[in-house]
Amino acid sequence: MKNLINWLRTTRLGYLCLLLILIWLKTLFAYYVDFTLGATGALQQIILFINPLGISAALLSLTLYIRSPRRAYLTAGVIYLLLTVLLLVNVLYYREFTDFMTVGTVMSVKNVSSGLGGSFVNMIIWRDAIYFIDLALALIAVLGYGAWNLWRFIHHQPARWPHFGLTLDAKPLGYHVPQAVTAVSVAVFAVTMAVSELNRPQLLTRTFDRNYIVKYLGLAPFTVYDAFQTAQNNQVRASADGADMDQVLAYTKAHYAAPDPTRFGTAKGKNVIIIHLESFQQFLIGAKIDGQEVTPFLNSLIKDQNTLSFDNFYHQVGLGKTSDAENMLETSTFGLSTGSLFSSLGSDNTFQGAPALLEQYAGYTSAVFHGGEGTFWNRTNTYKSLGYDYFFDGSFYAHDSGTTTEYGIKDKLMFAETSKYLEHLQQPFYAKIITTTNHYPFFITNTDTDFPDAGTDDAYINGYFRTAHYLDAALKEFFAYLKRSGLYDHSLIMMYGDHYGISNDRNQTLASVLNQSVSDPTGDTGSDWTSFDDANLQRVPLIFHAPGLKGGIDHTYGGEIDVLPTLMHLLGVDTRQFVQFGTDLLSPAHNAVVAFRNHNFVTPQYTVLGSTVYRNSTGEVVTPDAALKKKLAAAQQSVDDRLTLSDTLATKNLLRFYVPSGFTPVDPTKADFTNSLKLMLQAEAQHGAQSTSLYSRNQDETAIGHYVTDAPEVAKDRSVITQYPSAVADQATPVIPRPDGKQLIKSQ
């Protein structure tokens, strides 16, 4: 034993072994504690156990070729540091996204701005010390030595270097030792690859999901593989031509679902107000904490006879989360299998999005409102590509201290401030309002809500119900305003939850609150919790409300991909020639197989997760007979076809080869979002007596006086919602003369 410790301490190979053992242990800790890799059977367990070894050893062995001992030791330390950072970043990322960090995500981080950084720090919990305690101690030692050396320098004493109990091994290694070590490491890695290929054929060519690749090959090979894929993607685009588009068109034409004629056009000509309910899951509807309804307003709205809502509606986002939801809602094409489509393709791809389609086929003006950083998820660029006329980002909102939470302006203020812009939009308008308060870390003060704490030992779950309650209260105020101002009579309001707020690793704690949740037929908690229960919780609300709309709770199975055709048909816009992968939820021909981004799926009867089939009504695992197998294979095919074709469309940027008849492709360079207010007011002025904005219809009177909110910031100073923030106020002045010379736009 003593000899072994000495060997580890005093030889180069020993030092490398030490680092290898440490990174191996850390990785195994992550595999078993932080990641859910789903290794089943002895073979998979063995692969999982040894897969961190080969690649780490191969990388560390490279330092054996460095002759200078100090440089070799330092390089090995740096490699160890990088492997640790890769691991830790993935642990944190996984905690939020239940997936691994991809090169695409890293590359788009500059677009995603600083928001994720803030969340990342919030993600760290005590046990993460395992990953960096050694590095932290080393850093402290280095700093300590630095200070000591300064003292020694002043006192004319020679410097001393930290040695961490190691002795630098100055002996150069024989010529063959480095080669032998590298060869053995590579061989270990090759064996893991070969065994993986046997156990899971076509692992890399089919890329089932990231979990699989990490489970079989490890984190570092996954990252390298992913980088390679990204580079390849860039090439793919260059190789595309019009013939690829024909294949997509053949599919979407063949799978077009004609609208139910009794529903088609029933909301024709109405304004569309889309409210993006951040991180809002279906289980919130009807849920109670301490006997109090979490969402009393939405609960009553759903019962209203003018409300059409769906209770088997799933989010289908991938890693792009909010941006994936937005992309599906506005294009009826899927997000990417990796990263965010908005971030990676939003600036350059050709889109045929809802704002442009509704403008060109139904005369809508479009605007999108988000009270945070405009660059987040590359929104500013992507919204231009989608054809939005105006984007009111955080710079158009009062961002005084106390008015914001992490991702943007607080929801109550968001709706109130949005209203003073909304009233200048030409009608009919298509307006999307993105809420943010109900976002991880779900923080809200007692001044903003008095809703009770759910009392679990998970602060995020407790906060989630409180922020959701706050959002519900904000919606109530906004609806009241819409009614008082008169906008309500001419509007179709659509609300949807973009994705989960509570990630899968928290669901068991959540289950104790939901107990026999309506959205989980099994009522599982604790040890009988399964992936089926997780899948059930991926339901999010989809709600349409308009005076005169035929309401009811619709149990049709569907997902975010299906919203655009549903909405367009309600508005009376024919979708036959558009490239859409979803189908109208109200159509008799609707495809009720709901595809998750990882190719798992849900049908009205079954939930298929990998190779496991669950019966929806009972949650039990079923072994399909021949007939069911055939049915499920067809469903899987439909899922794969849609996802694959949608991916081809996006990665090859195929829409540049297709222009629907009567459509003019969007020119994103024409938009000037920093001047959104100015341009909107100019348009209002230029329309003169023909202007259809609420403000013009009210004889140039603002309706913002109708806005009632109990937000404490407004109680203190109402100008928070009635005045333009100083950064954009000059866009409303000087007063713009109307062409008929009759009246002037008044600034508020």
How far is residue 123's CA from residue 105's CA, in Å, rounded to a whole number?
18
| Residue of 376, 460, 601, 707 interacting with ligand GP9 (CB under 6 A) | 376
Give the chain's length. 748
Which does residue 436 bind out of ligand GP9, Mn ion, none, counting CB within 5 to 8 angstroms by kind? ligand GP9
Task: Using DSSP bridges, classify how beta strands 390-392 and 365-370 pair: parallel, antiparallel or unpaired.
Answer: parallel
The least CB distance from residue 117 to Mn ion, in Å, is 17
Q: Which amino acid is at 160?
A: R
Strand locations in 461-611, DSSP E? 491-497, 542-545, 552-559, 594-595, 601-602, 606-609
Q: What is the DSSP letter of 255?
A: T
Q: Does 407 participate in binding ligand GP9 (rule CB under 6 A)?
A: yes
Phi and psi angles of residue 706, each rounded to the nearest 5 degrees, phi first: -75, -10
Give 111 or 509: the residue with its C-beta nearer to ligand GP9.
111
Helix/strand/coil (H, E, C) string of 258-280? CCCCCCCCCCCCCEEEEEEECCC
Q: Does 321 participate in binding ligand GP9 (rule CB under 6 A)?
A: yes
Footprint on residues 228-287 left by ligand GP9 (CB under 6 A):
278
Of the ranges 371-379, 539-547, 589-597, 676-684, which one interacts with ligand GP9 (CB under 6 A)? 371-379
The least CB distance from residue 278 to ligand GP9, in Å, is 6
How far is residue 472's CA from residue 463's CA, in Å, rounded to a whole number?
14
Q: Does 338 participate in binding ligand GP9 (rule CB under 6 A)?
A: no
The least CB distance from residue 367 to ligand GP9, in Å, is 16
| Residue of 219, 434, 537, 639 interacting with ligand GP9 (CB under 6 A) | 434
Which does residue 259 bind out of ligand GP9, Mn ion, none, counting CB within 5 to 8 angstroms by kind? none
What number of other Cβ atoms are within 10 A of residue 703's Cβ?
Answer: 20
Give the residue closest to Mn ion by C-beta: 322
The least CB distance from residue 298 to ligand GP9, in Å, is 19
Q: How many residues bind ligand GP9 (CB under 6 A)?
A: 11
Phi and psi angles of residue 35, each rounded to the nearest 5 degrees, phi first: -100, 155
Q: How many residues bind Mn ion (CB under 5 A)?
A: 4
Q: Does 524 participate in binding Mn ion (rule CB under 5 A)?
A: no
Give start and end residues of each alpha helix (H) in 259-378: 296-303, 321-331, 341-345, 354-362
Give 323 or 509: the residue with its C-beta nearer to Mn ion.
323
Q: Which long-range contacts (CB under 8 A, 24 or more apart) does 709-712 make?
A: 709/412, 709/413, 709/415, 709/416, 709/477, 710/412, 710/473, 710/477, 711/410, 711/412, 711/413, 711/416, 711/448, 712/447, 712/448
Of the ranges 8-16, 159-167, 290-298, 434-442, which one interacts with ligand GP9 (CB under 6 A)? 434-442
Q: Give residue 557's Cα distance to chain centre.
A: 22
Known catalytic residue at 322: yes
Give 332 or 340: the residue with its C-beta nearer to ligand GP9.
340
Of the ranges 131-139, 258-266, 348-356, 372-380, which one interacts with ligand GP9 (CB under 6 A)? 372-380
Q: Sheet of 552-559: strands edge to edge?
A: 390-392, 365-370, 429-434, 271-277, 491-497, 542-545, 307-314, 552-559
Give 435 or 485: the residue with its C-beta nearer to Mn ion.
435
| Residue of 51, 90, 102, 322 interacting with Mn ion (CB under 5 A) | 322
The least CB distance from residue 407 to ligand GP9, in Å, is 4
Tokens (6 digits) for 715: 């109680």
Spot the catalytic one: 84, 307, 322, 575. 322
How far is residue 147's CA from residue 391's CA, in Å, rounded to a whole number?
53
Q: Does 724 participate in binding ligand GP9 (rule CB under 6 A)?
A: no
Q: Does 322 participate in binding ligand GP9 (rule CB under 6 A)?
A: yes
How far is residue 156's CA from residue 437's CA, in Å, rounded to a whole number?
59
Give 203 or 298: the residue with its C-beta nearer to Mn ion.
298
Footprint on residues 270-289 left by Mn ion (CB under 5 A):
278
- Residue 677 burial (10 A CB sphere; 0-12, 13-18, 19+): buried
Footprint on residues 579-618 left by Mn ion (CB under 5 A):
none
Phi and psi angles of residue 742, each rounded to the nearest 5 degrees, phi first: -75, -55
Q: Does 343 participate in binding ligand GP9 (rule CB under 6 A)?
A: no
Which does residue 27 bind out of Mn ion, ligand GP9, none, counting CB within 5 to 8 angstroms by kind? none
The least CB distance from residue 234 to ligand GP9, in Å, is 24
Q: What is the DSSP letter of 621?
A: E
Q: Does 436 participate in binding ligand GP9 (rule CB under 6 A)?
A: yes
| Residue of 263, 439, 569, 590 interacting with ligand GP9 (CB under 6 A) | 439
Strand locations in 423-465, DSSP E? 429-434
How far is residue 447's CA from residue 458's CA, in Å, rounded to a whole number?
21
Footprint on residues 443-502 left by Mn ion (CB under 5 A):
498
User: By the criterion CB under 5 A, which residues form the site for Mn ion?
Assistant: 278, 321-322, 498
User: By the criterion CB under 6 A, which residues form the site for ligand GP9?
Assistant: 278, 321-322, 370, 372, 376-377, 407, 434, 436, 439
Residues with a catalytic annotation lie at: 322
